[in-house]
Structure 1
Amino acid sequence: MTFSPHELPSHELRPHEFWQALHPPGSFSTNGPFSGFYPAELGDGRQLCLPIRPLSDGQHALASLIINQASFSVVEALAADLAARLCALEPDVVVGLPTLGLTLAATVARHLGHARYVPCGTSRKFWYDEALSVPMSSITTPEQVKRLYVDPRMLPLLDGRRVVLIDDVISSGASIVAGLRLLQAVGVEPVAIGAAMLQSDRWRAALETFGAPWPGRTHGVFATPLLSRAGEEGWRI
């Protein structure tokens, strides 16, 4: 059975109910218009209902994923999918970006058979080296410019290894470019970038500016479009 984008199997999702379940392929129409949620599709056709967040211009919106609020089963499914996309590259170590990317990175590393991963952070510990940091901002907190750090004790785990850089969502590209700059500072070029969601196409320009190959090295479990207001009907692609 396929539900219209204005319907759910039993009730309308409340805010705390998003990201808690994957629905069978074809459960929701992907043609739009969309009201309240956007049905993102994984590679195997399963669907995840994402809340729609209007942007400040009032005419556009994005689908949202807050992965550390997702159910464990959804996180596991997204991580397993991403790990399957990355495994052919034979990564030795996963590097995770804060904050929400750490949830995904740890689980992807486990699905790749790794015993650990390398988490970056924005909290400076007293033994950190300021030279091993770069400025970082994100689309969800644009007013905050923080610094992204790698713990100096983690450097032996990266030296000469095949590294993949993981974030939960790639949107503007600012956070992932900060991660690339940080790894560049320690002499590491990742073999790939991974994310659960590629949010619209705005990230491509930022990555192309950093280096032409990077958009092609970026892997996402699913992609979501920039939505446009469609009057009372809701939102359209």
Structure 2
Amino acid sequence: MQPHDFWQEIAPPPAAPPPWTDRFPASLPDGRVLFLPIRPLAGTANGIASLILNQASFAVEAALADALAGLLRPAAPEIVAGLPTLGLPLARAVAERLGHARYAPFGTSRKFWYDEALSTPLSSITSPGGSKRLYVDPRMLPLLQGRRVALVDDVISSGASIAAGLRLLHGIGVEPVAIGCAMLQTERWRAPLAAEFPSAPARIHGVLRTPLLSREGEGWAPAASPDPIPLEEPAR
């Protein structure tokens, strides 16, 4: 596949067994397959499957939103909160499919009427040390407080973004009933998230699940042990 061909079509089942060459066959809940590019991790024999949601076709975006709404519906959320940047369009689409009239977007751009107390550091590859902050608009508080909230992001990899979202919600007295994403990238996120929010992993739902990969001959296969090395790639 050419680089621009990824994330454009969903294939029928079944998923091909390993070893895989340039693509990982990620299975949707209904068994259909989305091929994700495999990105080698520099200086290691490992690789990860990649998803960049804003480069996906509209049909793929819609399929992921349909599937995530189905996974979150049993928790009966009353409002969906979305994490920037690529989690926002997914959260909006999920909220629409759940029959909601609106959603609550979090942001990293501080408007002049924001309250710094309604923010938390947001670490990322591009802003080491938490120089970026995650904000909730004070006008969104009535939509979130006392409500059944689902927190949505595009990809959970290290868990840093989801942890920031949980801290922000905790600061306003909210514990989400569910956490959703389009892809759970490896298991690297699980231990640090559970250390800070013990009940969070059990409430996480991912449409796609992708393992840490290791070299197998000329191709790739799931690593024998999950995440033996720290990943140095963005969570995409």
Aligned to 1:23: 11
Q: Which amino acid aligns with 2:221?
A: R
In 2, Cα distance between equivalents of 1:191 and 1:119: 17
Q: Which amino acid aligns with 1:141?
A: T
- Give the 5 Å matches for 1:29-178: 29=16, 31-138=17-124, 141=126, 143=128, 145=130, 146-178=132-164
**Alignment deviations for residues 163-204 of structure 1 (CA, whole Å, 9 cap, x no partner):** 000000001111100000001111111001001101101111
Structure 1 unaligned residues grouped into runs of 5+: 1-12
Aligned to 1:234: 219
Q: Which amino acid aligns with 1:24?
A: P
In 2, Cα distance between equivalents of 1:215 and 1:157: 24
Q: Does structure 2 retain, via aligned residues, the 8 Å contact 1:67–1:103?
A: no
- TM-score (norm. length: structure 1): 0.90
Q: Does structure 2 retain, via aligned residues, the 8 Å contact 1:97–1:121?
A: yes
Aligned to 1:14: 2
Q: Which amino acid aligns with 2:172?
A: V
- TM-score (norm. length: structure 2): 0.90
In 2, Cα distance between equivalents of 1:117 and 1:144: 29
Q: State the secondary structure of the residue aligned to 1:202.
A: coil
C-alpha displacement of 1:230: 2.4
**Alignment deviations for residues 32-51 of structure 1 (CA, whole Å, 9 cap, x no partner):** 11111101001111000101
Structure 2 unaligned residues grouped into runs of 5+: 223-236
Q: Which amino acid aligns with 2:117?
A: A
- Give the 5 Å matches for 1:153-232: 153-231=139-217
**Alignment deviations for residues 8-41 of structure 1 (CA, whole Å, 9 cap, x no partner):** xxxxx21111101100012x41x21111110100
